[in-house]
């Protein structure tokens, strides 16, 4: 195996990739099977793109692509047997598209190459042998080419994950599916031109903005607009279920399954923002949020005395203390864990059999500052800036993680001047969201926008403020300080770069697949800046804006 798709990649002794076992816990077999699945997805993309040119579409193949790509993200699915199954399914989708395309094209049909012509083996042993030839590395190409191919592949994964989140809530776009499939076709061609690879990566960023608009419409259309909400972060007495991950559809299904049962439901990690949606407030047994970010789950889950559901991504190895009471859903998987699709009765039964929570002293934090809320006071914000009461905005957000160096974001937030406001989203907020920041003329200094899935809301806030000040986003007193971890973060960064946003601070370490030459390009073109010392970085930012 060779994997360097996330921030926790091994980097010791000059090595910049996981080669025997992923830091995430992924074994060599599973990692290799994921590579092979992605190779087959490129074959689907080759035929889907050509079929679309003849007016042929296949929604089953579209949906499979985004689901399968999602399963290959860091901390999502660790179950090798599921990947064996999906490899077979991928070949079946590709071959169905191939038959439809060739029938329509007749004598002019394209002759398949690469993944379009690949025949996967039928046994695990043979599949793992085949996978060795289809990983991210390519000894015939420079590190710059390989790294930029990786940037395109990992950005594709992130966009696919966001597309999946929107799709399961009923928002889909033929244009998006076509673009994703065309990008797979591009990767299948073995691209080598540096400028083309960079342009394609930025194109993914533009596509991701469209996708995140769909996801925003899906969430707000289904659950209403988030509103400022004081959410409880301590437990109340009663049987309990903890729902973690990102998937609000599954959270809603759990709430419906537990109505009238006396079971309380808590959110965890990236589902904290669900507590601010009107659609969830109608469930009185959604009693609050428990615990912190994804990397704290082994402690949080062990201490939680109820049943646990892990949706979407951010699973890490389940500990024996809670292994028998944790379930997975959607693209998530771990060998031996019970996987639920739509039927959450086993989860409910487990919750009834467990002790449940006790009363803790009440503590609350305020969330729910999505774009509609922030923009409703845009006039006040503009006046506060013009008067000098509000001097700067910092967007401090992204993916949290366990690696050393992420205390940077806590220290940075703590030292932001009292005249500055902090926007935050993603699980990085857990580094400082329980601190007290006060307000500026009635405007809270800490504005929690929501999940990483809510990046669209943050972008719309920035664009609207730029419009209000009659300037560009880069002219605003706004600095993005981002923490990245996995492939959704890659997609979001590409979106910011595609929008021309400059001066982004990013850390705690840069992606290992970005070579020095590529980093230099990003620094020169976009001012992308690796984080350093929190106070020094803050002084530099404020001095530039003075």
Q: 161-176: per-residue pLDDT in tens? A: 999 999 999 999 999 9
The answer to whether 234 touches 363, Cβ cutoff 8 Å, is yes
Out of 222, 252, 268, pick the residue that ends a domain. 222
Instruction: Tell me the pLDDT of the chain averaged across its residues.
Output: 96
- What pLDDT digit, counting tens, does each position of 24-41 carry? 999 999 999 999 999 999
Summarised one tens digit per residue, pLDDT across range 142-166 is 999 999 999 999 999 999 999 999 9
CA distance 252 to 271: 11
φ and ψ at residue 219, rounded to 5 degrees: -65, -50
Whether 165 and 239 map to the same domain: the answer is: no
**Which of 222, 240, 267 is the last residue in one of the domains?**
222
Q: Domain check: are 374 and 273 in the same one?
A: no
pLDDT of residue 167: 98
Query: Do 157 and 270 reside in the same domain of the chain?
Result: no
Q: Are residues 135 and 162 in the same domain?
A: yes
Q: Are residues 122 and 247 part of one domain?
A: no
Domain assignment present for residue 462? The answer is: yes
Q: Could you tell me if 122 and 253 lie in one domain?
A: no
On whether both 417 and 459 belong to a single domain, the answer is: yes
| Domain-embedded: residue 2 | no
Using the 3D structure, point to which of 200, 222, 244 is the last residue of a domain. 222
Query: Domain of 301: which CATH number?
Result: 3.40.50.2030
For residues 280 and 202, state if they share a domain.
no
Domain match, 17 and 61 both: yes
| Domain coverage including residue 508 | 370-545
Sheet bearing 338-340, strands edge to edge: 286-289, 264-267, 240-244, 307-310, 326-329, 338-340
pLDDT band at 197 (very low <50, low <70, confident <90, very high): very high
Through-space distance between the first and last CA atoms of the chain, rounded to whole angstroms: 49
CATH of the domain at 179: 1.20.1270.20
pLDDT on residue 238: 98
Percent of the chain with pLDDT over 90: 96
In a domain, 4, yes or no: no
Residue 10 pLDDT: 85
What's the rounded mean pLDDT across residues 98-104? 98
Q: Would you state the pLDDT for residue 476?
A: 95
Q: What are the tens digits of pLDDT across the range 438-459?
A: 999 999 999 999 999 999 999 9
Domain count, the chain: 3
H-helix or E-strand containing 510? none
pLDDT in tens, 209-233: 999 999 999 999 999 999 999 999 9
Same domain membership, residue 376 and residue 423: yes
Same structural domain, 45 and 178:
yes
Is the bond preceding residue 508 a cis peptide, omega within 30 degrees? yes
Could you tell me if 243 and 271 lie in one domain?
yes
């Amino acid at each position: 195996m060779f994997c360097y798709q996330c921030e926790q990649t091994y980097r010791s002794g000059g090595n910049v990739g996981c080669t025997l076992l992923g830091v995430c816990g992924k074994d060599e077999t599973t990692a290799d099977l994921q590579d092979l699945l992605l190779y087959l997805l490129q074959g689907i993309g080759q035929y889907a793109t050509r079929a679309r040119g003849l007016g042929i579409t296949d929604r089953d193949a579209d949906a499979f692509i985004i689901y399968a790509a999602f399963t290959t993200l860091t901390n999502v699915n660790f179950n090798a047997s599921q990947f064996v199954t999906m490899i077979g399914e991928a070949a079946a989708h590709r071959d169905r598209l191939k038959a439809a395309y060739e029938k329509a094209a007749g004598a002019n049909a394209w002759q398949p190459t690469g993944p379009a012509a690949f025949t996967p083996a039928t046994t695990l042993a043979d599949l793992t042998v085949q996978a060795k030839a289809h990983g991210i590395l390519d000894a015939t190409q420079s590190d710059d080419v390989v790294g930029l191919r990786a940037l395109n592949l990992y950005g594709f994964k992130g966009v696919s994950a966001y597309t999946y989140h929107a799709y399961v809530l009923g928002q889909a776009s033929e244009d998006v599916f076509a673009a994703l499939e065309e990008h797979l076709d591009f990767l299948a061609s073995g691209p080598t031109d540096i400028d083309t690879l960079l342009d394609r990566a930025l194109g993914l960023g533009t596509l991701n903005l469209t996708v995140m608009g769909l996801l925003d419409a899906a969430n707000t259309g289904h659950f209403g607009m988030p509103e400022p909400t004081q959410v409880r972060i301590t437990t109340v007495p009663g049987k309990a279920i903890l729902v973690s991950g990102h998937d609000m559809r599954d959270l809603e299904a759990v709430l419906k399954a537990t109505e009238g049962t006396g079971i309380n439901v808590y959110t965890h990690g990236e589902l904290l923002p669900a507590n601010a949606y009107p659609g969830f407030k109608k469930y009185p047994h959604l009693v609050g949020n428990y615990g912190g970010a994804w990397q704290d789950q082994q402690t949080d889950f062990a201490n939680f005395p109820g049943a646990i559901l892990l949706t979407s991504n951010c699973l890490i190895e389940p500990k024996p203390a809670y292994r028998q009471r944790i379930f997975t859903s959607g693209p998530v998987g771990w060998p031996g864990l019970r996987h639920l699709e739509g039927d959450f009765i086993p989860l409910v039964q487990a919750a009834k059999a467990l002790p449940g929570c006790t009363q803790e002293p009440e503590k609350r934090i305020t969330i729910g500052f999505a774009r509609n809320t922030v923009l409703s006071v845009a006039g006040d914000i503009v006046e506060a800036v013009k008067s000098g009461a509000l001097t700067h905005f910092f967007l401090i957000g992204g993916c949290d993680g366990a690696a050393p160096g992420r205390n940077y974001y806590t220290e940075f937030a703590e030292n932001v001047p009292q005249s500055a406001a902090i926007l935050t989203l993603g699980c990085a907020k857990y580094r400082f969201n329980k601190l007290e920041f006060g307000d500026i003329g009635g405007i809270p200094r800490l504005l929690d926008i929501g999940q990483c899935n809510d990046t669209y809301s943050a972008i719309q806030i920035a664009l609207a403020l730029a419009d209000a000040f009659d300037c560009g986003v880069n002219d605003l007193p706004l600095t993005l300080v981002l923490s990245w971890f996995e492939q959704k973060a890659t997609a979001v960064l590409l979106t910011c770069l595609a929008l021309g946003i400059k001066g982004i601070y990013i850390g705690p370490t840069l992606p290992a697949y970005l070579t020095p030459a590529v980093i230099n390009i990003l620094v020169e073109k976009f001012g992308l800046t690796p984080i350093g010392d929190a106070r020094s970085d803050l002084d530099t930012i404020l001095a530039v804006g003075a």
